Amino acid sequence: MTTLSTPPPGSTNRTSASSDASDVFEASKQAPSAASSRRGVARVPVRRRGDTRFVLACLLPALVLFAVFMAVPTVNVFRMSLYTWSGFSPDMRFVGLDNFRRLFDDDQFVRAFQNTVALLVVVTVVTMGMGLFLAAIMTRQRLRGRNLYRFVLYIPNVLSVVVIAATFSAVYDQENGLLNGALRLLSLDGLQQVWLGNQKVVLYSVAIAMLWQSLGYYMVLYMASMSSVPEELYEASALDGASAARQFFAITLPLIWQSLSTTLTFFIMSAVNLSFVLVRAMTGGGPDGSSEVLLSYMYKQAYTNSSYGYGMAIGVVIFAFSFLVSLLVSRATRREPLQF
């Protein structure tokens, strides 16, 4: 790239115009003389076309990768959901919407769906609520040692799922686990549970692990957006006698609304995946399918039960479901962005 030493306005000596687009732009703006502007106008379209090609060439590898690894498989999921196929054999049988029809009669699928929805609702509400609350406390209350808290709360996010599963296996252990041990110490023996064995409790045990894993990440995100809210607003409202809670709802929340609604959409999509990996590592969907979620059921059907097409039909349901929920959430949380 040739450097452009700012020429005096009105200069006609622009023959050394470089091949760079910004130079041309500069040149046409700064050199209104007839000769140079004609040159500029004449060369711009040529260069634009060259640039487009260059940009396309740069994009090509990414586009190819995207097509091969994202677009084609996604289309394939939809296509395969209309077939009966074991996953290997050359004989695929087209069955139309039979796989979907069968889904509604499948009690295990219905249960997996219910579990997924329950996890999504509970974990989303609690994670978002706690994340906001903790972020507000840490940014507004000038808590002592808040860097340490932030660090501690963030750590679970970088742990691998296997480590989390092992950690929670130690926490939930029914005999000498952390949780039941603490309850015994507090003489609350009646509250002790077989956390991963009781079919009514196991889903919430998984939910707590999910919460623990993701809370820190969203808290840090909210802290970042809260710290950009101007201090004057808080000072002014404090002079008017607003309490901390009032400040939170009247200033903080509206001003970070944009990032709240974005993270919400992200979270819903990632929670579907996270619930799968955690369930697989912690309970394997058990006991007796009581903690099965959609993705783990899809895996079991597509591979263990050799019903690949049926598994893909479940995949389509998951796709449609998370798409719909994200859409609804982003619609429901849409507001006029506030400026500060």
Partner 1 sequence: MRRSLVLTGTAVTVLGLLAGCSAGGSGSDSGRTTLKVAALEGGYGRDMYTQVIKAYEASHPDIDVQLQISKSIEDEITPNMKAGRYPDVVVLGQGRKAALTETLVKDKALEDLTPVLKERIPGEDTTVGDKLTEGIVGNLNTNPYGTDQTYLMPMYYAPTGLFYNKGLFEEKGWKVPGTWDEMFALGDTAKKQGIPLFTYPTAGYLDSYFFALLADVGGERFYTDVMTYKKDVWKTANARKALDITTELLGHAAPATVGYANEQDFTKNQQLVLDDKALFMPNGTWIVGEMAEAPRADGFQWGLTPLPAVTTGGKRYITTSVESVWVPTAAQNKDAAKEFIAYLYSDEAAKIFAKSNAIQPVEGIAGSLSAENVEFYKVYEDPSVAALVGGFASTAPVEGVDIKATLFDTANSIISGDTTEDRWRAALNEASEKLRQAGG
| Interaction residues for partner 1, span 286-325 (CB under 8 A) | 286-290, 300-301, 303-307, 309-310
**CA–CA separation, 164 vs 167, rounded Å?**
5
Chain-centroid distance of CA 142 in Å reads: 29
Minimum Å gap between C-beta 303 and partner 1 is 5
Q: Of the candidates 18, 30, 192, 198, which one interacts with partner 1 according to CB under 8 A?
A: 198
Minimum Å gap between C-beta 325 and partner 1 is 24
Which residues are CB-neighbours of 239 under 8 A, at least 6 positions away?
A: none
Q: Of the candidates 2, 76, 199, 227, which one interacts with partner 1 according to CB under 8 A?
A: 199
Asked whether position 336 contacts partner 1 by CB under 8 A, the answer is: no
Binding segment toward partner 1, per CB under 8 A, in 71-79, 213-221, 256-264, 279-287: 279-287
| Interaction residues for partner 1, span 122-181 (CB under 8 A) | 165-166, 169, 173-175
The contacts found for 47-52 with CB under 8 angstroms, 24 or more apart, are 47/19, 47/21, 48/21, 51/21
Residue 255 in tokens: 């001003």
Choice between 33 and 86, CB closer to partner 1: 86
Q: Of the candidates 128, 203, 268, 282, which one interacts with partner 1 according to CB under 8 A?
A: 282
Minimum Å gap between C-beta 112 and partner 1 is 11
Asked whether position 64 contacts partner 1 by CB under 8 A, the answer is: yes
Is the bond leading into 287 cis (omega within 30 degrees of zero)?
Answer: yes
What is the CB-side half-sphere exposure of residue 308 using CA atoms within 13 A? 17
Choice between 91 and 232, CB closer to partner 1: 91
Q: Which residues face 94 on adjacent strands?
A: 83
Minimum Å gap between C-beta 56 and partner 1 is 9
Dihedral, 61, 65, 71, 73 alpha carbons, nearest 10: 160
Choice between 252 and 301, CB closer to partner 1: 301
Which residues are CB-neighbours of 157 under 8 A, at least 6 positions away?
A: 213, 214, 216, 217
Name the 3-class secondary structure at 91: coil
Minimum Å gap between C-beta 81 and partner 1 is 11
Report which DSSP code applies to 237: H
Residue 190 in tokens: 């009646």
Residue tagged 């040739």 (tokens): 2
The residues binding partner 1 (CB under 8 A) are: 50, 53-54, 57-58, 60-61, 64-65, 84, 86-89, 99, 102-103, 105-106, 108-109, 165-166, 169, 173-175, 194-199, 281-284, 286-290, 300-301, 303-307, 309-310
